[in-house]
Amino acid sequence: MTEREQYTPGPASGAQIRRDGELKWTLILVRELRHSPEKVWQALTDPAHLREWAPFEVDGSMGTVGTVKLTWVGTPTPLETRVTRADAPKVLEYSDIRWELEALGGGTRLTLWHNIDRRFIAWGAAGWHICFDVLDRLLAGAPMGRMVGGKVMAFDGWRRLTVEYGEQFGVGSPDTAKS
> Where are the alpha helices (H) located in the chain, listed in sequence order?
3-6, 37-45, 47-53, 121-139, 149-153, 156-169, 174-178
pLDDT of residue 61: 97
Integer distance in angstroms from the first to the last C-alpha of the chain? Answer: 38
Is pLDDT of 22 > 90? no
Apex 154 CA angle, 30 and 3, nearest 5: 65
Per-residue confidence band for 6, with pLDDT thresholds at 50, 70 and 90: confident
Pair 29, 111: CB distance under 8 Å: yes
Quick one: which of 156, 109, 167 has its CA closest to 130?
156
In sign, the C-alpha dihedral spanning 70, 37, 101, 14 is positive
Helix (H, G, I), strand (E, B) or coil at 146: coil
Is pLDDT of 178 > 50? no
Helix (H, G, I), strand (E, B) or coil at 2: coil
Instruction: Provide the whole-model pTM.
Output: 0.91
pLDDT of residue 3: 62
Q: What share of the chain is helix, strand, coil (3-state, %, to 5)?
A: 35, 30, 30
Q: Which residues contact 137 (CB under 8 A, 6 or more apart)?
A: 3, 143, 144
State the fold for domain 3-170. Alpha-D-Glucose-1,6-Bisphosphate; Chain A, domain 4 (3.30.530)
pLDDT of residue 25: 94
Is pLDDT of 2 > 70? no
Mean pLDDT computed over 103-126: 95
- pLDDT tens, position by position, 117-147: 999 999 999 999 999 999 999 999 999 999 9
pLDDT of residue 175: 53
Is pLDDT of 79 > 90? yes
- pLDDT tens, position by position, 33-68: 999 999 999 999 999 999 999 999 999 999 999 999
Mean pLDDT of the chain: 92
Is pLDDT of 14 > 80? yes
CA distances from 49 to 1, 14, 55, 87 (A): 24, 23, 12, 18
